[in-house]
Chains A and B, each alone.
Chain A
Amino acid sequence: EVQLVESGGGFVQPGGSLRVSCAASGFTFRDYWMSWVRQAPGKGLEWVANIIQDGTETYYVDSVRGRFTISRDNAKNSLYLQMNSLGAEDTAVYYCARENFGGNAPNFDYWGQGALVIVSS
């Protein structure tokens, strides 16, 4: 059974940093592109970043580029999102998601349960 389990969410002050992690199981992690998608309270979904199978290519939405870093450790079947210079606008549930079906559209077949990040003083 495919499982994605996020961890590392919590409270952080504006300007602070936080790293969220996603532990994958039930599939060959190194074979898939992976993404982070976030959802602010009461809002729609926002794609944040994705990473190629071997970790050599990464892509970001403009609003986080230069502040967030997506990475992966295929030996540990884990995906990470390092978030720096956090602001109130980054408050959201952060989901890791497996990309499938091909193409550039948001084609995510499995999602984690989400990690809540709250940026507040």
Chain B
Amino acid sequence: QSVLTQPPSMSAAPGQKVTISCSGSSSNIGNNDVSWYQQFPGTAPKVLIYHINKRPSGIPDRFSGSKSGTSATLAITGLQTGDEAEYHCGTWDSSLNAKVFGGGTKLTVL
């Protein structure tokens, strides 16, 4: 069971906006940065967001991150079929003294 809670699956139509939630506690998300990763089947994860809302070079601004209290959110606008993938959130947990991840959200673009 993961420290951070994500919905196991979500679906949306092309062109729409989707928000993926990541819920934690004061020992992790509440007091630390959050990162988000995109992972296609059989491949390594790729960073989309770091430091809550920063995008590495090459990541389109359709992807954005935010945090409120002990929850974080990844928003994807203008959904494309190529966005169909698994999305993972991650942060530091001060109680566990470990980097922790959510269980992942499988996004289907119908």
Q: Which residues of A contact B (CB under 8 A)?
A: 35, 43-47, 50, 59, 61-62, 95, 101, 103-109, 111-114
Q: Which residues of B contact A (CB under 8 A)?
A: 2, 32-35, 37, 43-47, 50-51, 54, 56, 88, 90-92, 96-104
A interface, over-half SS = loop
Q: How far is the CA of A101 from the CA of B103 in the complex (A)?
A: 23
Among A43, A47, A101, A112, contact of B99 (Cβ-Cβ < 8 Å): A47
Residues of B within 8 A of A104 (CB): 32-33, 92, 99
Do A106 and B101 form a contact, CB below 8 Å, given A101-B50, A101-B54? yes
B34, B46, B100, most chain A CB atoms within 10 A:
B100
- The chain A residue sitting closest to B88, CB to CB, is A45
Q: How far is the CA of A43 from the CA of B8 in the complex (A)?
A: 11
Contact A103 B88 (CB under 8 A): no
